[in-house]
């Protein structure tokens, strides 16, 4: 991984009741489903990424968030209500940390924060440690 690129990806974590499974075919068509599984008798869990997301330039975070938001914003009212009723509905933005390397600040424009709020989701930032077994 290039030391100057600390952005990894943005995924959408969703945990909700079994109604969430109704969105499965839509998610498969519109984004990359990293996993979907039943986590309890009544709960279903999804982890989604925008298509072609992942490690790239720092500005890619905005593109990935925008792509995921477009998928959510284009859902029917019924499906939006299912998402809003989920116990966990989080945009998780992942970054890698580098030893002796100060990561540049990452800008998430307020328009994205407003859109995330409007769809009823939260934002999480995850910093992954440098893998000491691999020399950067």
Angle at alpha carbon of residue 122, lines to 120 and 128, rounded to 5° = 155
**pTM greater than the 0.85 cutoff:** no
Domain boundaries, given as residue ranges, for the chain: 7-128
Strand, helix or coil for residue 77: helix
Report, as an integer, the average pLDDT of 117-135. 79
The rounded percent of the chain whose pLDDT value lies above 90 is 53
- Round to whole Å and give the CA distance between 100 and 10: 24
Q: Bigger pLDDT: 100 or 54?
A: 54
Instruction: Report whether pLDDT(136) > 50.
Output: no
Angle at alpha carbon of residue 123, lines to 90 and 27, rounded to 5° = 35
Report, as an integer, the average pLDDT of 69-77. 95
- Round to whole Å and give the CA distance between 58 and 36: 28
Q: What is the pLDDT of residues 14-45, one digit of tens each?
A: 999 988 888 988 999 999 999 999 999 989 99
Cα 16–chain centre separation? 16
**pLDDT (0 to 100) of residue 14:** 96
- Round to whole Å and give the CA distance between 93 and 109: 14
Q: Which two tokens stand for residue 32?
A: 């990359």
Cβ 21 vs Cβ 86: under 8 Å: no
**pLDDT (0 to 100) of residue 58:** 54
Angle at alpha carbon of residue 123, lines to 29 and 24, rounded to 5° = 20
């Amino acid at each position: 991984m290039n030391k100057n690129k600390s952005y990894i990806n943005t995924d959408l974590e969703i945990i909700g009741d079994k109604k969430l499974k109704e969105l499965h075919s839509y998610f498969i068509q519109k984004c990359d489903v990293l996993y979907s599984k039943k986590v309890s008798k009544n709960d279903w869990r999804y982890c989604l990424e925008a298509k072609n997301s992942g490690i790239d330039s720092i500005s890619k975070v905005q593109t990935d968030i925008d792509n995921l938001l477009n998928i959510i914003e284009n859902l029917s009212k019924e499906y939006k209500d299912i998402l809003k009723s989920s116990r966990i509905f989080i945009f998780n933005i992942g970054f890698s940390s580098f030893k002796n390397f100060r990561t540049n600040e990452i800008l998430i424009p307020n328009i994205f924060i407003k859109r995330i709020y409007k769809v009823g989701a939260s934002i999480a930032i995850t910093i992954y440690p440098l893998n000491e077994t691999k020399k950067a």
